[in-house]
Amino acid sequence: MEKRKTITVRGELDPKKLGFTLTHEHLSLDFNKFYTSPPTNAKPHLNSKITLENLGYIRQYPYSSIYNINFQDSESHDAVLSDVLYYKCSGGSTIVENTSHGLNRNLKFLYDISEASGVHIIAGTGHYVHGVQSDSVIQMTIEEMSDLYTKEILFGVPVEGVGLIQCGIIGEVGSSWPITAFERKAIQATAETQNILNCPVTFHPGRDKNAPFEIIRLYLEAGGKPNKCVMSHLDRTLMHSEDLLEFAKLGTFCQFDLFGTECSYYQLNPSSYMQSDEQRLEQIQTLINSGYEKRILMSHDIHTKHRLVKYGGHGYSHILNNILMRLISKGLDIQTIDTITVGNPSEWLETST
């Protein structure tokens, strides 16, 4: 008889016990390679810690503050613990941490946060985008990548003071646009590993509407299962309903994971824009109305200081405290909301052996 489980940083768990789950967050990562120069008049306001005087500038140009994108210092870690504790008090139960190879993953910190808060935390393996990888990693073969992912899921990663910590997903597997040769290898290795282990995977697409389609084409051709796959960041990639509905036909989970991010200027893609929470809710309603409620996931993708409560942000509890009530006001019933926030994550994160 098959054993159904989810792998957390503190061991295996019955997927039915995951509860309310955020499926795309970061608790500690290195985002320094995404530093972006600000306009000249804003630069003087972005060279210090976050204060009431400069918070407006940081919200507008979040990737132009070295302090803001350093998510690994002790101040960040203290703020994250406080935020995760508040998430627990607000009804949260599980967080999927999407920091993969290339972003300086910190498994010890994930374990410590889970121990201190009681929140189930699921860690990721896999490789992020080409631009953050070393030359030696870029030269890895598909077989070497797949072997790494398999070992980190089945046997775990040695962590000083803890022992072996197993990863529970492959992801986030990152792609730029156009997709590079290294990123194609990572997608193919992810698919091959997923096919063997029946593990959950999640992809980060480049900022082009064709990117999600191309990733899934490569993934499916390499043997990956669509029902164990999440496409992240659709709320900044597929902006029109017709594109979203066309993508939904492919059978993956459609993730809206930038809740709480509302700005008039999208630094990482100036030619496009960042949707508002209201627009995200409209897209979710479009999928529900078309029969895809069992394919929807929601999260925040917090990866900078200014989005944590301590620094004036919305925190990991934003969906629980501010978004679910809006879904109810739009006519969604509790059962549908429970499907999206509890049932769908549980189905995705389940691994059978």
* Closest to 284 (Cα-Cα) out of 272, 302, 297: 297
Is there a contact between 94 and 19 (Cβ–Cβ < 8 Å)?
yes
Q: How crowded is residue 295: how many other Cβ atoms within 10 Å of its Cβ?
A: 24
| Rg value, the chain, Cα | 19
Give the span between the Cα atoms of 62 and 306, in whole angstroms. Answer: 8
Whole-number pLDDT of residue 314: 98
* Closest to 206 (Cα-Cα) out of 231, 170, 171, 243: 231
pLDDT in tens, the chain (353 residues): 567 899 999 999 999 999 999 999 999 999 999 999 999 999 999 999 999 999 999 999 999 999 999 999 999 999 999 999 999 999 999 999 999 999 999 999 999 999 999 999 999 999 999 999 999 999 999 999 999 999 999 999 999 999 999 999 999 999 999 999 999 999 999 999 999 999 999 999 999 999 999 999 999 999 999 999 999 999 999 999 999 999 999 999 999 999 999 998 999 999 999 999 999 999 999 999 999 999 999 999 999 999 999 999 999 999 999 999 999 999 999 999 999 999 999 999 998 75
Residues present in the chain in total: 353
Is there a contact between 124 and 100 (Cβ–Cβ < 8 Å)?
yes
Whole-number pLDDT of residue 353: 56
pLDDT in tens, 128-155: 999 999 999 999 999 999 999 999 999 9
Is there a contact between 342 and 18 (Cβ–Cβ < 8 Å)?
yes
Whole-number pLDDT of residue 348: 98
Is there a contact between 103 and 30 (Cβ–Cβ < 8 Å)?
yes
Residue with tokens 């006519």: 331
| pTM higher than 0.95 | yes
Domain boundaries, given as residue ranges, for the chain: 4-31+70-352
pLDDT in tens, 21-72: 999 999 999 999 999 999 999 999 999 999 999 999 999 999 999 999 999 9
Between CA 334 and CA 123, with CA 225 as vertex, the angle to 5 degrees is 70
Q: Looking at domain 4-31+70-352, which CATH architecture does it have?
A: Alpha-Beta Barrel (3.20)
Give the span between the Cα atoms of 21 and 147, in whole angstroms. Answer: 28
